[in-house]
């Protein structure tokens, strides 16, 4: 795998921005909300973004396979042989899109050997990018401004800033917060939760519920490029394409490595 990650950043940002433009065109209309087989909502914006990204990636890197939320999942017998592939979520945060709160993203990640090595997260309604890979670090860029280097917050002072979902909350999260102690909640939708770990605006993101691999891959690359950590509750790294199903286990994302964030988890 000799893919030059630096050379991919600029075209990927263009692809994500073009997909974001397709999303925003629909965002401003009275679009129809449909329901997929898994009961999750979907709109024309999801498919429009998917078509835009898949077409452009096919031209940019014709030899690298693509896995998208809005396409049929490749059979495991085929996917298990992939050493490198694109993992995309054309519109992460469809519920936020429907609520019209602007907290939805376009996620494009490059996976190599079970790890997300490069990620571009674009926020169409804010015209903002988060992106990075481990060789160059992580960056945040607003509109036409120059990119700014970002790093995680390496010391989590009290109260701990906990970023949490606007659309998902449960008993496991409440139990974690109780054990954690003094904290403040930073509510946020979509993969922006991970991005707030990357830029130091939050200390810990406990995801104690199901997500899919395309939900997290791009932003995980940004977090880790910014010096952060994303681990499963057993302490092992959050990996990709390592098993037949595409569901993530529960995970924790954080910047302060000196603190044992796992200790606040309740027993299974």
| Position 43 confidence tier, pLDDT thresholds 50, 70, 90 | very high
Mean pLDDT of the chain: 95
Q: Percent of the chain having pLDDT more than 90? A: 88
- Residue 170 scores a pLDDT above 80: no
* CB atoms near residue 29 (< 10 Å): 10
Domains defined for the chain, CATH in brackets: 5-150 (3.30.540.10), 160-264 (3.40.190.80)
Residue 48's contacts (CB-CB under 8 Å, 6 or more residues apart) are 19, 22, 23, 25, 26
> pLDDT tens for residues 113-159?
999 999 999 999 999 999 999 889 999 999 879 999 999 999 999 99
Distances (CA, A) of 62 to 55, 85, 116, 125: 10, 11, 19, 30
pLDDT of residue 4: 85
3-state class percentages of the chain: helix first, strand second, coil last, to nearest 5: 30, 30, 40
Confidence at residue 92, expressed as pLDDT on a 0 to 100 scale: 97
Contact 64, 85 (CB under 8 A): yes
Average pLDDT over every residue of 218-224: 98
**Spatial contact of 123 and 105, defined as CB atoms under 8 Å apart:** yes
pLDDT of residue 143: 81
Q: What is the pLDDT of residue 38?
A: 82
Predicted confidence at residue 134, as pLDDT, reads 84
CA distance 176 to 235: 16
Lowest-confidence pick of 54-58, 68-72, 115-119, 179-183: 68-72
**Torsion (CA) 246, 115, 133, 221 in degrees, nearest 10:** 40
Q: What is the pLDDT of residue 142?
A: 94
Q: Check: pTM over 0.85? Answer yes or no.
A: yes
Find out whether 106 and 92 touch, Cβ atoms under 8 Å: yes
pLDDT of the residue at 166: 67
């Amino acid at each position: 795998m000799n893919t030059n990650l630096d050379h991919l950043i600029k075209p990927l940002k263009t692809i994500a921005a073009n997909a974001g433009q397709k999303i925003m065109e629909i965002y401003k209309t009275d679009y129809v909300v449909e329901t997929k087989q898994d009961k999750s909502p979907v709109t024309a914006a999801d498919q429009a973004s998917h078509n835009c990204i898949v077409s452009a990636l096919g031209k940019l890197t014709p030899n690298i396979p693509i896995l998208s939320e809005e396409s049929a999942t490749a059979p495991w017998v085929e996917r298990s042989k992939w050493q490198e592939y694109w993992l995309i979520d054309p519109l992460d945060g469809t519920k936020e899109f429907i609520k019209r709160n602007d907290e939805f993203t376009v996620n494009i990640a490059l996976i190599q050997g079970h790890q997300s090595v490069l990620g571009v997260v674009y926020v169409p309604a804010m015209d903002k990018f988060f992106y990075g890979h481990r060789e160059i670090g992580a960056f945040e860029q607003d509109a036409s401004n120059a990119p700014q280097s970002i790093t995680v917050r390496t010391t989590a002072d009290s109260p701990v800033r906990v970023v949490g979902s606007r659309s998902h909350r449960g008993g496991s999260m409440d139990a974690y917060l109780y054990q954690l102690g003094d904290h403040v909640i930073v509510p946020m939708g979509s993969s922006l939760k991970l991005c707030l770990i990357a830029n130091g605006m939050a200390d810990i993101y406990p995801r104690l519920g199901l997500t899919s691999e395309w939900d997290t891959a791009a932003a995980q690359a940004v977090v880790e490029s910014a010096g952060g950590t994303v681990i499963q509750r057993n302490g092992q790294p959050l990996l990709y394409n390592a098993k037949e199903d595409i569901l993530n286990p529960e995970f924790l994302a954080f910047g302060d490595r000196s603190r044992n964030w796992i200790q606040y988890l309740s027993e299974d």
